[in-house]
Amino acid sequence: MSTTIPALGAGTFRLKGQDAYQSVEMALKLGYRHIDTAQIYGNEAEVGQAIADSQIPRSELFITTKIWTDNFAQADFLPSLKESLEKLQSDYVDLLLIHWPLKDESVPMVEYLTELKKAKDLGLTLHIGISNFTTAQMAQAIDILGEGEIFTNQVEVHPYLQNRAVIEFCQQHNMLVTAYMPFAYGDVLKDDVICAIAENHQATPAQVVLAWIIQQGYVTIPSSTKEKNLASNLEYSKVKLSEAEMKQIATLDRNHRLANPDFAPDWD
């Protein structure tokens, strides 16, 4: 079983039906071994089919899914996970995340985190983690699960939203940072500073952004429907950014948050 998470994975948010199937099919053919999906994306079945059709041994893959908020109650949590596993055509996922914390605590955090831990104890997931948790919610989650149990917090991170308080907390508690929406859905790829750095390295702006994220020790999961983009993103590692370039990109932070639904927590 794959216990290490590849630093670059393929995201699947917004991809439905054939688009999801084709994106995962292309990604796996190109060499991606880490795929990120979620119950709410409505594409676990297509993701699962593309994985099955790839004939890549399951042990070489790192698959993440996320439990949607409707399934947090004890009666629904594990049955919904089993449904996800059926769609994914797998006995387990490598990483299971709580997709969003509940602002209203209509299901108490202790209830859904207890189910999350149960999923791990039952071997239905190798790792457990959280997504979109603030520093206060991470502290609460650690109180419930204990130090060292939470593998990652998957949060929005890109040059325009650097999420420093959350990242600092993760680092203090040995929690991996998974940066979602690394391109701010394309916004940062037009940035003058990023484009100039890309030109210096004869690289694409996307490769510069990925290098900037991964050089800091984070994992990231950009999505793409295009083979050309999936392929060039995978070659981010040819870009080695200097300290000065890393610092220059750090100055671009501007609280440009894209994933901010009405049920979002009170952000740090």
Ligand X SMILES: NC(=O)c1ccc[n+]([C@@H]2O[C@H](COP(=O)([O-])OP(=O)(O)OC[C@H]3O[C@@H](n4cnc5c(N)ncnc54)[C@H](OP(=O)(O)O)[C@@H]3O)[C@@H](O)[C@H]2O)c1
Interface with ligand X (CB under 6 A):
11-13, 36, 99, 131-132, 154, 180-186, 189, 204, 206, 221-226, 229, 232-233, 259
Query: What's the one-letter identity of residue 5?
Result: I
| Least distance from ligand X to the Cβ atom of residue 186, Å | 5
Q: Which is nearer to ligand X, 90 or 204 (CB)?
A: 204
Name the strands in the sheet holding 150-156, side by side, starting at the edge strand that comes first in the sequence: 10-11, 34-36, 62-67, 93-98, 125-131, 150-156, 176-180, 219-220
Which among 41, 112, 180, 236 is annotated as catalytic? 41
Please list, residue by residue across 167-190, b when 16 or more beta carbons sit within 10 angstroms of its beta carbon and e when fewer do: bebbeebebbbbbbbbbbeeebbe
CB of 35 to ligand X, least distance (A): 9
In the complex, least distance from residue 217 CB atom to ligand X, rounded to whole angstroms? 18
Q: Is 95 helix (H, G, I), strand (E, B) or coil?
A: strand
Question: CA–CA separation, 253 vs 264, rounded Å?
Answer: 20
Neighbouring CB atoms inside 10 A of 14's CB total 12
DSSP alpha helices (H): ranges in 101-226? 109-121, 135-145, 164-172, 192-200, 205-215
| CB-closest chain residue to ligand X | 11
Q: Which is nearer to ligand X, 243 or 262 (CB)?
A: 262
Of 119 and 158, nearer to ligand X (C-beta) is 158
Q: Which is nearer to ligand X, 244 or 267 (CB)?
A: 267
How far apart are CB 259 and ligand X at their closest, in Å?
A: 5
Catalytic status, residue 41: yes
Which residues are annotated as catalytic? 41
